[in-house]
Amino acid sequence: MLETDLQPHIRLGRNQSANYALLPGDPGRVKRIAAFLDDVEELVYNREFCSVRGKYKGVSVLIVSTGIGGPSTGIAVEELNKTGVKTMIRIGSCGALQDNMKVGDLVIAQAAVRDEGTSKTYIDPCYPAVPDPDVMFAILKCARELNYRHHCGIIRSHDSFYTDRENEIDNYWSERGVLAADMETAALFVIGRLREVRTASILNVVTEKTAILEQSINDYASGERAAAMGEEREIKLALETFAFLSGLELSST
Ligand SMILES: O=P(O)(O)O[C@H]1O[C@H](CO)[C@@H](O)[C@H]1O
Ligand SMILES: O=c1cc[nH]c(=O)[nH]1
């Protein structure tokens, strides 16, 4: 491979790519996802972008961590698109904004409130942050078949964690029916749409609405059971979705 084929941040070229990619935020999640795959190849670990490739039910899948927030997610989406990835599903964690949501529940994002900066550098804030409908409906179908507890609706992507207004902001969006908060989905959806990449986002609830945020995220990082189960479920759900979509594509050719 020519050096110039390499993308500057993810450090991958076309010959290391795949049609489908899973995008966790945390590089530490990459190995845990790889445990679900066959023929695993460890590719590169540069900055926050840790990448592995493997096969799920015969379908080649790339896993690349995006790091925290919109800027590094935008870089990952742009560079992965240049290597030839055409479908990307985020496998993230989130904070619940509704009382009926428990740690380990899954959230399938139907749209994202663009309360972050990255997507605004691309296009007017009126432009919607939405997933690809075929990928989102495939995720919903697989979630029902797997009998995983899940919620589908609007989420909010944000840029801050520790401002003095976090509770007030969360309450504002909660009262308007927003399900959960993360930091990457809006950038993924907007940039994906603009670049004609199919995207979707599955989030694992790691903190309940009334919980203490720092404590819950510490519990998740320490491997707390319900949050770890939610993570395993979101991985399995995304991989089953890729297998389903790949089957559809093969049958239509
Ligand atoms: O677990 P990941 O995928 O990183 O997602 C969530 O966790 C981080 C904050 O703890 C943010 O990146 C947020 O979006
Ligand atoms: O409350 C939370 C928890 C995880 N990730 C977020 O972005 N917010």
Q: Kindly give the residue spans of alpha helices, DSSP state H, lying in 132-251.
A: 133-146, 166-175, 185-194, 213-221, 225-251
Q: Which domains does the chain have, with CATH numbers?
A: 14-251 (3.40.50.1580)
Q: For residue 123, what are the contacts with CB-CB under 8 A and spacing of at least 6?
A: 190, 194
From 158, 154, 74, 73, select the one nearest 115 (Cα to Cα).
158
On the CB side of 253, CA atoms within 13 Å amount to 6
Rounded CA Rg of the chain: 17
93 lines ligand 1 (CB under 6 A): yes
> Residue 189 corresponds to which amino acid?
F
How many CA atoms within 13 Å lie on the side-chain side of 72? 20
Question: What's the gap in Å between 67 CA and the centre of ligand 1?
Answer: 8
pLDDT of residue 253: 73
Q: Which amino acid is at 140?
A: L
* pLDDT of res. 3: 52
pLDDT digits (tens, 9 = 90+) for 77-112: 999 999 999 999 999 999 999 999 999 999 999 999
Give the residue ranges of the chain where pLDDT is below 70.
1-4
Distance (Å) of CA 142 to CA 15, 29, 182, 233:
30, 22, 23, 11
Say if ligand 1 is within 6 A of residue 76 CB.
Answer: no
Determine which residue's CA is closest to atom 12 belonging to ligand 1.
68
Name the amino acid, one letter, at 242.
F
The complex's ipTM works out to 0.97
Q: Is the CB of 213 under 6 A from ligand 2?
A: yes
pLDDT at 1: 46
Query: Is residue 217 lining ligand 1, measured as CB closer than 6 Å?
Result: yes
Quote the pLDDT of residue 127. 98
Cα 47 to Cα 100: distance, rounded to the nearest angstrom: 37
Which of 91, 159, 165, 183 has most ligand 2 atoms within 8 Å of its beta carbon, as the pocket-test mutant? 183
Give, rounded to a whole angstrom, the gap between the first and last alpha carbons of the chain: 30
